[in-house]
């Protein structure tokens, strides 16, 4: 079995954990590439599995590093509040020992393709994959801007708000949740669109198909972020185009993992009648 090791080496305990497990990992797999800085491009590495150590931030960086070569991920929880990491460190070696590991079911998660077109340009200046969300927001936190939201070449509305979030189901428990958006099961095929601090109380989150063509425009300067990283400053006349990506983010469906149990635990849901 050929694997890639990724993670955030700046987080306390990550490098120590990896080095502690390395001898056991090497007995069971060939490590074709590794990176704990988030900078290495592994999109050309043909491996069977990517093992990511850390929290959701480490997984978002791994998606960027793999690019168009999205290899199935086994996420080892070493973060704080993580909705994507499915196993603990003591579960990794027993899983690598399983002869059926690479035959386990794969859960495919929606990725969005974000392209930035500058005014009067027909080719995108930049393009990015998003696992969590794409956000267009004001350069100043306390100022609202007008954001035109177009769906299939038809204007839906012009939001007056601090920003607009286009979220995947995976991202529905991230910034979208903090802004009052709905929780979508991770493997559902949908996107949520919601304004941040809208000035019109009738503006509510929308849920639509990722197969529909979306565009965002604004007549003020704004900042474009993808999965929490700033990628560009938007000028009047620029267009942010969002479509379903050709690739999907893949995770191993680890036996015993329950999505709603994880939500109950991480979000502090009681889930009981009475005391």
Can you say how many angstroms the Cα of residue 165 is from the centroid of all Cα atoms in its chain? 13
Q: CA-to-CA distance for 83 and 133, rounded, in angstroms?
A: 15
Order of strands, sheet of 191-196, starting from the edge strand that comes earlier in the sequence: 206-208, 191-196, 163-167, 133-138, 222-226, 229-234
SS3 of 34-72: EECCCCCCCCCCCCCEEEEEECHHHHHHHHHHHCCCCCC
| Residues paired with 2 in a beta bridge | 30
Is there a catalytic annotation at residue 16? no
Can you say how many angstroms the Cα of residue 154 is from the centroid of all Cα atoms in its chain? 27
Q: Is the Cβ–Cβ distance between 116 and 125 less than 8 Å?
A: yes
N residues, the chain: 275
Contacts of 274 (CB under 8 A, 6+ apart): none
List the structure tokens of 54: 């850390």
Q: CA-to-CA distance for 258 and 27, rounded, in angstroms?
A: 30
* Tally of CB atoms within 10 A around 275: 3
Which listed residue (16, 41, 48, 56) is catalytic? 56
Indicate the SS3 state at residue 237. coil
Catalytic residue ranges: 56
């Amino acid at each position: 079995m050929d694997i890639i090791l990724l993670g955030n080496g700046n987080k306390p305990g990550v490098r120590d954990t990896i080095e502690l497990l390395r001898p056991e990992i090497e007995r069971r797999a060939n490590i074709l590439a590794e990176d704990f800085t988030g900078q290495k491009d592994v999109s050309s590495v043909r491996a069977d599995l990517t093992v990511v150590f850390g929290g959701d931030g480490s997984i978002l960086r791994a998606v960027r590093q793999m690019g168009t070569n999205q290899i199935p991920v086994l996420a080892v929880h070493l973060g704080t509040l993580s909705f994507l990491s499915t196993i603990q460190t003591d579960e990794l070696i027993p899983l690598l020992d399983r002869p059926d590991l690479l035959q386990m079911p794969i859960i495919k998660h929606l990725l969005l393709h974000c392209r930035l077109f500058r005014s009067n340009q027909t080719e995108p200046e930049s393009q990015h994959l998003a696992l969590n969300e794409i956000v267009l927001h004001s350069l100043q936190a306390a100022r609202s801007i007008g954001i035109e939201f177009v769906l299939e070449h038809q204007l839906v509305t012009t939001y007056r708000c601090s920003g607009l979030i286009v979220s995947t189901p995976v991202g529905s428990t991230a910034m979208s949740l903090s802004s009052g958006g709905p929780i979508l099961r991770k493997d559902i095929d949908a996107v949520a669109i919601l304004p941040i601090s809208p000035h019109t109380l009738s503006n509510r989150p929308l849920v639509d198909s990722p197969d529909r063509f979306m565009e965002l425009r604004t007549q003020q300067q704004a900042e474009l972020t993808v999965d929490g990283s700033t990628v560009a400053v938007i000028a009047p006349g620029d267009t942010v185009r969002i479509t379903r990506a050709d690739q999907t983010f893949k995770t191993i469906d680890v036996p015993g993992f329950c999505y709603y149990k994880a939500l109950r635990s991480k979000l502090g849901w009681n889930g009981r009648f009475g005391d």
